[in-house]
Structure 1
Amino acid sequence: MNKIADQGTKFMNDVLYYFDKAARHTKWDKGLIQQIRVANSVYKVQFPVEINGKVEVIEGIRVQHSHHKLPTKGGIRYSSYVSEDEVKALATLMTFKCAVVNVPFGGAKGGVKISPTKYSEKDLEKITRRFTVELIQKNLIGPSLDVPAPDYGTGSREMAWIMDTYLTFKHGDTDAQGCVTGKPIGAGGIRGRTEATGLGVFFGIREFLDIEEEVTKLGLSRGIEGKRIIVQGLGNVGYHAAKFCQEAGAIIVGIAEREGGIYSKKGLNVDDVFQFRKSGNLITQYPDVECYDEPEALLEMECDILIPAALENQIHAENAPRVKAKIVAEAANGPVTREGEEILHQKGVVILPDLWLNAGGVTVSYFEWLKNLANVRFGRMAKRAEERKYSMIVSTIEKLTGKSLTPEEKAMLIQGADEKTLVHSGLEDTMIEAFHEMRETLLTVPGITDYRTAAFFNGINKVALSYQMMGLFP
């Protein structure tokens, strides 16, 4: 077995281990647990694409883990490291991630085995459209069947190509825009989707740090202000998680990327570092900081919160003993291996699990899907009515008090909720509600001692109940 496949298998085995660990605490029939545990279907395809005058055969995978709810939902990643087991593991996580945050989707995931940096934009479009045709032909995409989204190596551009290809085959379908989420705004996307996963990470960390009992055990003060944070990965998720944490008063002391990492006890300006690297510089060229050629070194530096926001299997048996963070907040999928988790737990480190913490993306994807099916922008019908009502209230208060507000104060008070405001509000409510469901399980179910097991326990119960309501199991 090659190294890529081996890493995917390791990831899959870890996910199943976490599932089994939580399932032992449930009371469901063994047959139902087995049905929930395994992937429902796996589709692998080899499709030809003409690249630079030559035909190149490319591998694509789509896994639908659970059909307890439809459509199934999950991103498509472009990476030379894509393997069947990796995609199955990610699809499995998606099933329980959706259940944990009460989003009514089954879990799915897809992958195309390419390194996107080696292809031109034109070639990536060819590959994306060709893979979409394969999915359409096998009935593996559609607003009521299976709804892809961006993942590692893909973004709104690829989602627009997928939607456009789907519309070509489904002309006249008024729900067709809902075949994919994470689209550009002009193509039926939703405001707030870009920052959704990182913002969800922030909401989750903030909510945990607001629990006096939890932070006291870790020797920390309540609240996010002043907390020292290291972020691994300055992509979309890592950047936004760091940005929102910094704006709330946290100190970003370290950032790691592929080529290395930087550290500063005084704190780093996240936007400055992001723009510096976006301009074509290596992160290790950033001035007036401690630089490390090995990005893994940042995982072992002093901090209160470590946010791994890159790929899976980053904290493992070898480096977990040297991790100094008190909280590991999993912004990526599967960044901590089973062995690494056991070591961190022994050290008293709290792990905020990916199953819940990085569910902001699928939560806002759900909002986008609803918007596409409704064919109306959130806030369109209520925003002006709210502003008129708030304006009347402000005018009445000014008359009664004899005091006038500044134009800026008035504008702030009378502003109605637009789409982005509503999306952020819905995401915040989702993350907070799911956290307290998870914590309630942790505090009340005998034998459950960590948040990941609590999250899986909740997810398993919700999926099992859906199957039971179908009449498929007693």
Structure 2
Amino acid sequence: MSKNQNKTGTYSFFNCIEKNFDKAAQFLSIEKGLLEQIKACNSVYRMHFPVKIGKEIKVIEAYRVQHSHHKLPCKGGIRYSTKVNQDEVMTLAALMTYKCAIVDVPFGGAKGGIKIDPQIISPENIEKITRRYTSELIKKNFIGPGIDVPAPDYGTGEKEMSWILDTFLSLRSGDVDALACVTGKPVSQGGVRGRKEATGLGVFYGIRELCYTKEDMYSVGLDVGLVGKKIIIQGLGNVGYHAATFFHEAGAVIIALAEREGAIYNEKGLNVSKVFLHLRNTGSILNFPEARNIENTEKALELECDILIPAALENVIHKNNANRIKAKIIGEAANGPTTPEADDILEKKGIIIVPDIYLNAGGVTVSYFEWLKNLSHVRYGRMEKKFSENMNAEFLHVIETVCKKKISSEEKKIILRGPREIDLVRSGLEDTMINGFHKIRDLKKSSKIKNMRTAAFVLAINKIIDSYEKLGIFP
């Protein structure tokens, strides 16, 4: 067993990213020192600060890592978990760098983490911790609209982002662009519509584009399109739930959903909304009336299906179960769900893997839109919505006059409506994911690279090198 592997034979998250980076480097004629610079984290801020919780003073461990300064600001979420450690935060920051490069979002990668369990700490104390963490970041110049822009991640959401914003405003009150210091905020505080479902919707757009590609579908023995595709999703958190919902609405069949406590299965398909309601009422997806239970959640990954979407933890597909995976396509909605050894096994089996560094970039893409909205101080759609409606009305009048036929009032409502903010955000996300997919696929074909993951890393590294060269940092 390699020194980089744990007792189950899976690699550490950090080593998985390094191995994938090194695979891609073989296809590049770039000096080793430059590659080492791209791999390295530029800045790591580890902090300990006291917070009074109840009658006791607790010392909180927290991190903020800025992986790359090839573009500024840096961008990445903040997670609250007892499993937070420096290696994990550094790895996630590196992934953010590559994701942003692939989808042409002009940020360097960053990540933050606070080592707490938000499930057992009161909201009042979480607020104290969040505000103190923010003030520590401000002291060291690790947050700001042009410096480093946090966002939600595991264990955090709109509420925590609003506390970060409020703390920043109180300490940087004269900053006219202060709203852009953090994304994932409530809409009432400068957030953007469509941010909450963005990662899951990005997963949907990416896999849908693959399913529309004849050559790729025929290579795995599937028909073109999403209708009727049998899908298994592991993880029913924010990403998994929204991805499942969009696939269900598009005509795909969600045959299994898996969570930590087990999985549920119905060959004819699960109603995602009903499952989520059952989860909310009972605290578990198990014993859902319209499905049978699978006690071992890992076994759900091995069921017959067309598309498998791991949307929860890293390293869930490894050398010990890769041979038993029966999916034709794996869409990595989670970060690092497949180990390098599993990659090799799955590739030999002809399974298409849509890699995490592309597929779950929907969140940072829409965060970028929110950041731009805050800097421009104008809501998306405000300037063009009425203009579009007026132009559509004129166009419709011409059609009715020429055709001598009136269009029904219901049809008129659909045709005349100008774009709302959520329409523009989703349109931008869709275009980004489609373009990203084809850039990876085209590079894979032209460079004779065997898989999408390596092609995605090559694409990211090339774009980062290009940015450094434009800055004049490298000769």
| Superposed CA offset, 1:289-317 (max 9, x none) | 11022222211111110011102111111
Partner of 1:462: 463
Query: Structure 2 CA distance, aligned partners of 1:409 and 1:223?
Result: 27
Could you tell me which amino acid in structure 2 is paired with residue 250 of structure 1?
A: A
3-state secondary structure, aligned to 2:84: coil
Structure-to-structure mapping, 1:283-362, within 5 angstroms: 283-362=285-364
**Contiguous gaps of at least 5 residues in structure 2:** none
Q: Deviations over 1:363-403 (max 9, x none)?
A: 00000000000011011011001101101111221122221
Does the Cα contact within 8 Å between 1:371 and 1:378 map onto a contact in 2? yes
Cα distance in 2 for residues equivalent to 1:55 and 1:69: 39
Please state whether the residue corresponding to 2:49 is helix, strand or coil. strand
Who is 2:444 aligned against? 442
Contact 2:9–2:319 (CA under 8 A) maintained in structure 1: no
1:58 paired with 2:63, answer: no
Task: Check if 1:185 corresponds to 2:187.
Answer: yes
Kept in 1, the 8 Å contact 2:239–2:311? The answer is yes
Is the CA contact 2:10–2:318 (under 8 Å) kept in the aligned structure 1? no
Cα contact 2:233–2:309 (8 A) shared by 1: yes
Q: State the partner residue of 2:279.
A: 277
Corresponding pairs, count: 472
1:327-354 deviations in whole A, cap 9, x for unaligned?
1100011111112212211211111000
- Normalised to the residue count of structure 2, the TM-score between the two structures is 0.97
Query: In 1, distance between residues paired with 2:108 and 2:283?
Result: 41
Q: Where does residue 374 of structure 1 map in the other structure?
A: 376
Partner of 2:93: 91
Structure 1 residue aligned with 2:423? 421
1:134-145 paired onto structure 2 within 5 Å: 134-145=136-147
Displacement of 1:6 in angstroms is: 11
- What SS is found at the alignment partner of 2:392? helix
After superposition, residues 197-276 of structure 1 pair within 5 angstroms as 197-276=199-278
- CA distance in 2: counterparts of 1:463 and 1:59, whole angstroms: 31
Question: Aligned partners of 1:311 and 1:50: how far apart in 2?
Answer: 32
Cα 1:76–1:5 shift into 2, 3 Å = farther
Q: Return 177-186 or 118-127, whichever deviates more.
A: 118-127
Letter of the structure 2 residue corresponding to residue 254 of structure 1 = A
Instruction: Output one character per residue of 1:24-43: Cα deviation in whole Å (capped at 9) or x when no partner.
Output: 21122222111111111111
CA distance in structure 2 between the partners assigned to 1:7 and 1:282 by the alignment: 30
Q: Residues 5 and 35 of structure 1: is their aligned pair in 2 closer, same or farther, counting only changes over 3 Å?
A: farther
TM superposition shift of 1:281: 3.5
SS in structure 2 opposite 1:117? coil
Corresponding letter in the other structure for 1:47? F
User: Percent of aligned positions with the same letter in both sequences?
Assistant: 56
SS of aligned partner of 2:398: helix
Instruction: State the Cα RMSD in Å.
Output: 1.7
Aligned to 2:154, the other structure's residue is in SS state: coil
Cα distance in 1 for residues equivalent to 2:21 and 2:208: 27
Distance (Å, rounded) in 2 between the aligned partners of 1:423 and 1:5: 44
CA 1:174–1:8 in 2, change beyond 3 Å: closer, same or farther?
farther
| CA deviation after TM superposition for structure 1 residue 7, in Å | 11
List structure 1 runs of 4+ shifted beyond 4 angstroms.
3-9
SS in 1 for 2:282: coil
What is the alpha-carbon distance in structure 1 between the residues aligned to residue 11 and residue 397 of structure 2? 64
Match of 1:156 in 2: 158
Query: Structure 1 stretch 53-62 or stretch 274-283: which is displaced more?
Result: 274-283
Q: State the partner residue of 2:75.
A: 73
Query: One-letter code of the match for 1:41?
Result: S
Q: Which residue is equivalent to 2:411?
A: 409
What is the rounded CA distance, in whole Å, between the counterparts of 2:11 and 2:156 in structure 1?
23
> Using a 3 Å threshold, how does the CA distance of structure 1 residues 72 and 352 change in structure 2: closer, same or farther?
same
The answer to whether the Cα contact below 8 Å between 1:8 and 1:83 also exists between their aligned partners in 2 is no
Structure 1 residues 158 and 266: alpha-carbon distance in aligned structure 2, compared to 1, 3 A threshold: same
SS in 2 for 1:111: strand
C-alpha distance in 1, partners of 2:419/2:290? 42
2:18 corresponding residue in structure 1: 16
- Alpha-carbon separation, structure 2, partners of 1:105 and 1:281: 38
Listed one character per residue, the Cα deviations across residues 258-307 of structure 1 (whole Å, up to 9, x for unaligned) are 22110000100011111211223321121131102222221111111001
**Which SS does the other structure have where 2:305 is aligned?**
coil
Is this contact kept in 2: 1:5–1:83, CA < 8 A?
no
Cα gap change, 1:212 to 1:8, in 2 (>3 Å): closer
List per-residue Cα deviations over 1:398-428 (Å, max 9, x = no partner): 1222211111100100111111000000000
Deviation at 1:319, TM superposition (A): 1.5
Name the aligned partner's letter for residue 453 of structure 1. T
Q: Which runs of 5+ in 1 are unaligned?
A: none
Matches of 1:81 and 1:401 in 2, distance apart?
66
The one-letter code matched in structure 2 to 1:399 is: T
| Contact 1:231–1:255 (8 Å) recurs in 2 | yes
